[in-house]
Amino acid sequence: MKDCLGNVIGGEEVLAASGATFEKLGPATGEVVCRVARSGPVEAAAAVAAAAAAQPAWAALPAARRGEILFKVAEALEARAAEMAQVVHAETGKSLKDALGETLGAVALGKFMAGEGRRLYGRTTTSALDNRQAMTVLRPVGVAALIIAANTPVANVAWKVFPALVCGNAAVLKASEDTPRTASLFAAMAREAGLPPGVLNILHGLGAEAGAALVREPGVGVISFTGSTAVGRFIMETAGARLTKIFLELGGKNPFVVCDDADLDLAVRWAALSAFSNAGQRCASASRIIVCAGVYDAFRERFLAVAKAQKVGTSDADDFGPVINARQLANMLAVVDQARADGAKVLCGGERLTGQGRDNGFFLGATVLEGAGPDQPISRQELFGPICCLYRAQDFQHALALANDCDYGLTACVHTASLHRAQEFVRGIQAGVAVVNAGTYGSEPHMPFGGLKNSGNGLREPGTEALAVYTETQTVYIHHNPDAA
């Protein structure tokens, strides 16, 4: 283990000027994984300056050539997928199987976005004037500040780095303080694959220090952030004041609706995956399971059996691992305790797990509550853990109303055998992603992801829609004189 993991600025590893560091703890063991540079405004400014210096030459490359370089980066990640999975496993506590699946998903995203180098399409159109051609072209914004969460660290890196760079921007990636080695290893792979120095810079540190400093940097042209709604509001208030372009992918309190004609075995399987996989650490996790009265008792019995059988640990035989840190675990337990005090019943879980090698880790069992009011904190707050609540709906229309009774609007799912009911759900649900007869999570590289209400600010990534985040549209008029031909 290195003494300290430094920033990557202009292709060089740089520690914090103050010499300050912090400890990254493994969530499965509570032990120190590495020490990390605790950066602040000095390092944020240096990283932005390095990106600004490298960006013109990178943007001057034909977009297809940028795509070819980024395809090599994706291939490098694929070739060393097992190595990356080991790092993700150590930093998050998720199983190696899940870490490898996440890494290969990042590869797929990288290859898709690299192909956009040949498809950075503008458009041509007609003009009302004689001898004039009208068109639009896409231009890079400049320096992109990319701020990511720790839940799926290598996928989160890929979702932002590949589209930002293929569009011709240079980037400063603020790594999550909980997954710093993942970001640094990705940057090392990118350099070895031929990405020029300074095009991708890595900034380490705490969010309130390094992240906030990056948001305040005037040289940043676009900010892309994935994380909490509270931090998203800070970014809008801070960078929005200087009219910086901002993309926000924020929280979710996602509904999973089970109708009285649903295939209950299928619904139970997907509900458990949606609520508990990745320890519930998905912005698309299903935390509100709304079941129509006619099948509520039957669903409840089957779902509880599956929830109680969830295996919690770090091996490939386990269903999910620990939550990312002690602070997150304490917050979750506090909200569950408050719900219990407010009259909700904890049907299973709700306590920190110990024993079987978990004593020093941050493990929480699959937690299911019943009887929580729709206005109680546990029904309104995103907890980012393996916690869900059951709600009884009178009928489909009541279920849809409960699903929409939320400040978030990221993803939603319905289980039903009726095409008509499925269509009404898709039309009526207030969510950026609607799913029929599967789970609330899941995305593909070519498909946009994002939400409504407090879940985002209208833009989307990935998919080709992500290109709108990282480009500006330039309108071009070309006049010619036929007599001079």
Q: Which residues have a catalytic role annotated?
A: 249, 283
Cα 69 to chain centroid distance, Å, stands at 24
Q: Phi then psi for 381, rounded to 5 degrees?
A: -95, 140
Burial class (CB in 10 A: 0-12, 13-18, 19+), 121: exposed
DSSP-derived pairing of the beta strands 286-292 and 254-258? parallel
Tokens of 136: 């639009």
Q: Which residue's entry shows tokens 């609540």?
A: 389
Q: Could you tell me how far CA 148 lies from the centroid of its own chain? A: 7
- What number of CA atoms fall less than 13 Å from residue 24's CA on the CB side? 31
Identity at 76, one-letter amino acid code: A
How many C-beta atoms lie closer than 10 Å to residue 236's C-beta?
17
The count of C-alpha atoms lying within 13 angstroms of the C-alpha of 464, restricted to the half-sphere facing its C-beta, is 9
What is the SS3 assignment for the chain? CCCCECEEECCEEECCCCCCEEEEECCCCCCEEEEEECCCHHHHHHHHHHHHHHHHHHHHCCHHHHHHHHHHHHHHHHHCHHHHHHHHHHHHCCCHHHHHHHHHHHHHHHHHHHHHHHCCCCEEECCCCCCEEEEEEEEECCEEEEECCCCCHHHHHHHHHHHHHHCCCEEEEECCCCCHHHHHHHHHHHHHCCCCCCCEEEECCCHHHHHHHHHHCCCCCEEEEECCHHHHHHHHHHHHHHCCEEEEECCCCEEEEECCCCCHHHHHHHHHHHHHHHHHCCCCCEEEEEEEHHHHHHHHHHHHHHHHCCCECCCCCCCECCCCCHHHHHHHHHHHHHHHHCCCEEEECCCECCCCCCCCCCCECCEEEECCCCCCHHHHCCCCCCEEEEEEECCHHHHHHHHHCCCEECEEEEECCCHHHHHHHHHHCCCCEEEECCCCCCCCCCCCECCEECCECCCCECCHHHHHCCEEEEEEEEECCHHHC
Structure tokens at 368: 């299911």
